Amino acid sequence: MNTPTTQPSESSPSSETALSSSNFPSLAVNLAGLQLKNPTMTGSGTCGYANEYEDFVDISKLGAFVTKSITHEVRPGNPAHRIVETRAGMINAIGLANVGLDAFLHDKIPLLEKLGLPIIANVAGHSMDDYITTAGEISKKTIIDAIELNVSCPNVSDGLTFGTNPPLLRELVQNVKNAIAPRVKLIVKLSPNAPDVLATAVASIEGGSDMISLINTYNALAIDVFKRKPRIARGTGGLSGPAIRPLAVYWTHIVYRNAARDANVPIIGMGGIQTWQDAAEFILAGATGLGVGTALFVDPATPVHICDGLTRWLQTLGVNNINDVIGTLEMPGDTPTCPTT
Ligand SMILES: Cc1cc2nc3c(=O)[nH]c(=O)nc-3n(C[C@H](O)[C@H](O)[C@H](O)COP(=O)(O)O)c2cc1C
């Protein structure tokens, strides 16, 4: 993957001009009552539980921290190779490797308490009860501000993936919402592999989700042409990085205009964000928060560069507050259509 251009392009003001301005626009956003000093956060699974990244970047500069998916049981994950680089991103099949609920509560929560920024715990499971127990227990910890549900997991009882089946997803969201502490926000992370992504967004909102995050990785396959075998040990994996960015921007736009905007449900957009220009596209399409995942493998300070660039972009536009540009994309004729309905 190429090293990103993380500074504003020549069409933006020079850093000297921008930084000499005393009028810095506000990047603060409100995610369903959760206040963030800027819209950036980690993409789940790409920054562990934070301590892994402490030596590389000042995590307190991010708007929020999102943990690796936590499951009820300890999971060693899939055998190697679990990650391969592709031309415009990477394919991973980590297999939800994580320390499990008990170790998360006892060993990882104290580390997260030191960060001093909003914490979003990502939860995964293979049954309704798994999700309810794990999310419920984690939400009792006062350091946790929100639970993000990774619904790209098959249900053990019927094999259906929660995130691709709207009625099942609605039921899951309702049950988890009832199980978590009322002060804790609920986020549903949508899978782009659903036959109808918009229908899963609607089901999440109907189920009571406070926010939507999108997107998780796309099903993908990379082949070693000499061995005639998959490059990932498990076979298939999930594609992330710049290759999926225009698709992720598209889904942000569709979900914002057709479900989230009218329901007043904020979107956390992610998928291939590497530069401030990428981030600005998501904001214009309707995202209030911004997840950065794969780009952290190239430069752990990517979210910090993105904030610098967004500040200069807003100055160029003459806008004082990032909230004033969220969802302000002008589409031809401004009559949004949704090919999935
Ligand atoms: C190595 C790796 C591990 C990931 N693990 C998780 C995970 O545990 N839970 C989850 O919800 N998403 C996981 N994701 C998906 C990311 O959080 C993100 O949704 C996706 O990669 C798109 O964003 P990006 O292109 O900025 O990486 C993972 C992605 C990568 C690359």
Measured from the Cα of 96, ligand 1's closest atom is: 8
Residue 153: pLDDT above 50?
Answer: yes
Distance 214 CA to ligand 1 centre (A): 10
Q: Average pLDDT in the 281-297 region? A: 98
Show which residues are catalytic. 153
For a pLDDT cut of 70, what percent of the chain falls above it? 91
Distance 208 CA to ligand 1 centre (A): 24
CATH superfamily of domain region 15-334: Aldolase class I (3.20.20.70)
Q: Where are the domains of the chain?
A: 15-334
Residue whose CB lies within 8 A of the most ligand 1 atoms, among 134, 217, 244, for a mutation test: 217
DSSP-derived secondary structure for 323-334 = GGTTT----GGG
Q: What's the pLDDT at 339?
A: 52
Range scoring the smallest mean pLDDT among 48-57, 93-102, 171-180: 48-57
pLDDT in tens, 51-63: 888 888 899 999 9
Q: What are phi and psi of 251, to 5 degrees?
A: -70, -30
Q: What is the CA radius of gyration of the chain?
A: 19
* Cβ pair 211, 268 in contact under 8 A: yes
- Confidence band of 7 (pLDDT split at 50, 70, 90): very low
Over 230-295, what HEC string results?
A: ECECCECEEEECHHHHHHHHHHHHHHHHHHHHHHCCCEEEECCCCCHHHHHHHHHHCCCEEEECCH
Q: Please give the model's pTM, rounded to 2 decimal places.
A: 0.93
pLDDT in tens, 234-255: 999 999 999 999 999 999 999 9
pLDDT in tens, 263-275: 999 999 999 999 9
Distance 47 CA to ligand 1 centre (A): 9
